[in-house]
Amino acid sequence: MKFASSSAETEPTSQTTISDDSKSGRGMSTMPRVVKRKLQKLRPIVEYNKRGKGIGQTHSEMQYYIGVLARSRVPLMDMKWSQIPKDIKEQIWEAVDMAFVVGQGGKNSVLASAAKKWKDFKSTLTRHYILPYTNDREKLSQPSETYKFIEKAQWDAFVASRLSKDFESVHSQHAQIREKLEYNHRLSRKGYAGLEDQLEETMPGVEIDQSTLWKRARQDKHGNIPDPKVTEKAKLIDELQKQVSEGKVSVYGSNDVLTMALGPEHPGRVRGVGAGISPMQYFNLPKPQRMSFDDRLKESLRVLLQEETKEMEAKAREEALRMEARTKQLVEAEREHFLSQLSQLIPNFDPSMLKSRISQSPKNPMSDKASCSGGDVRSLHFEDDTAKNGKHQEEKNEEKKDEEKE
């Protein structure tokens, strides 16, 4: 697991445990590792595949953490994600960004994941804790012990919305849509991106295309396909793949093996790669561009490092300014001491003359001293000697006059 240090302050963390929203009822889910790393200011780096989908252990941990945040921080209300206040969404993003390095464009993907997990959470509550007990008001009076963090007022309002006639109509429509779905996958939380990453490790050198992912996503843990309809399509895919390898069938763009086997996909979607990948992204991008997501991740890490470097440089500049100010104070104190000594050594010494000369070269105080101890001081000695010589000559003249008088 790769880490990047974080200079951000650690946000307050709660010891509240949040339930996992799985169907199998795995029980309470906590994130002690994430909390511990945040206290240590460590941010693991989320890895991505060539199509920009998150993979690996760090990505899985991040998804768990997003689920915890979506369930615990977003109010349990009968509304759409677009109606949730922006400050709540911003809190979720900041919490995730503080715990993980998610790369460029990470905010949109994190909030999209939070939206889906919040929606799935409400669906889980509706299907498992409300609709089965429509005739048991006692059961509906309190949220389940598994989700005891839900406030009573929010729970009562949510139950009332789920028992309304309007919701009954919407729920019926969705049930009819689900019945029309065929070829349901058996993927775990790792999704198509995790499956592709796993296959690339176990099948090195083999190109993992949509059709291969689609088949593997519908196999059980023993490699069998329980659904007869899926089995039939899997055999057709195998036959088409064989014909492509033999050159009997050509594939180009979206007209690939999976489309030949299942028929045209809904516009704007791509089968067998997971959500968030458009046909333009998958089919029409040149190979080098499709492989460049790692470069974008490296760029985001470079930007992060650059920001930390700028912060260190700013601190260094502040320290340099403090040192410069301190140096100036020391130089000024030394200058005053030097002038004081000169005043004691030379009678009638005027410090203003040296001060003006010294102030002309503030960048090199040592050269100032040399100047003072050199030419300026010699000049002072010369003037003093001249004065003495003049006085001595006057005395001689006076003595000569006295002798002439005598």
SS (H, E, C) 296-313: HHHHHHHHHHHHHHHHHH
Average pLDDT (141-147) is 90
Residue 11 clears pLDDT 50, i.e. is over it: no
Map out the domains of the chain as residue ranges: 1-181, 190-195+208-284, 296-399
Instruction: Give the pair of three-digit tokens for residue 193.
Output: 């991106």
Residue 153 clears pLDDT 90, i.e. is over it: yes
- pLDDT for residue 357: 54
Closest by Cα among 281, 277, 297, 276 to 116: 276
In this structure, is the dihedral angle defined by the CA atoms of residues 131, 136, 138 and 141, taken in order, positive or negative? positive
Residue 220 clears pLDDT 90, i.e. is over it: no
Q: Which residues contact 305 (CB under 8 A, 6 or more apart)?
A: none
Q: Is the Cβ–Cβ distance between 88 and 73 less than 8 Å?
A: yes
Distance CA 275, CA 192 (A): 9
- pLDDT for residue 175: 79
Distance CA 294, CA 167 (A): 44
Average pLDDT (225-238) is 87
Average pLDDT (356-380) is 49
Burial label for 37, CB within 10 Å (0-12, 13-18, 19+), is: buried
Tell me: the pLDDT tens digits for 187-208? Answer: 776 777 777 777 878 887 777 7
Q: How confident is the model at residue 69 (pLDDT cuts 50, 70, 90)?
A: very high
Structure-model confidence comparison of residues 366 and 151, the more confident one: 151
Distance CA 224, CA 342 (A): 101
Structure-model confidence comparison of residues 303 and 156, the more confident one: 156
Distance CA 51, CA 279 (A): 12
73-97 as b/e: b if 16+ CB within 10 A? ebebeeeeeeebeeeebeebbebbb
SS3 label, residue 236: helix
The type of residue at 5 is S
- pLDDT for residue 291: 43
Residue 391 clears pLDDT 90, i.e. is over it: no
Distance CA 166, CA 59 (A): 38
Q: How confident is the model at residue 161 (pLDDT cuts 50, 70, 90)?
A: very high
- CB hemisphere CA count around 374 (13 angstroms): 9
Instruction: Give the pair of three-digit tokens for residue 231.
Output: 């089995």
Q: How confident is the model at residue 1 (pLDDT cuts 50, 70, 90)?
A: low
Q: If you average pLDDT over every residue of the chain, what do you get?
A: 76
Residue 110 clears pLDDT 90, i.e. is over it: yes
- pLDDT for residue 105: 74
- pLDDT for residue 119: 94
Picking from 77-86, 210-219, 250-259, which range would have the lowest pLDDT averaged per residue? 250-259
Tell me: the pLDDT tens digits for 308-351? Answer: 888 899 999 999 999 999 999 999 888 888 878 877 788 777 76
- pLDDT for residue 93: 95
SS (H, E, C) 127-158: HHHHHHHCCCHHHHCCCCHHHCCCCHHHHHHH
- pLDDT for residue 323: 92
The type of residue at 47 is E
Average pLDDT (68-92) is 93
Residue 139 clears pLDDT 80, i.e. is over it: yes
Residue 138 clears pLDDT 60, i.e. is over it: yes
Distance CA 298, CA 317 (A): 28
Picking from 107-116, 205-214, 394-403, which range would have the lowest pLDDT averaged per residue? 394-403
Tell me: the pLDDT tens digits for 16-30? Answer: 333 334 344 444 455
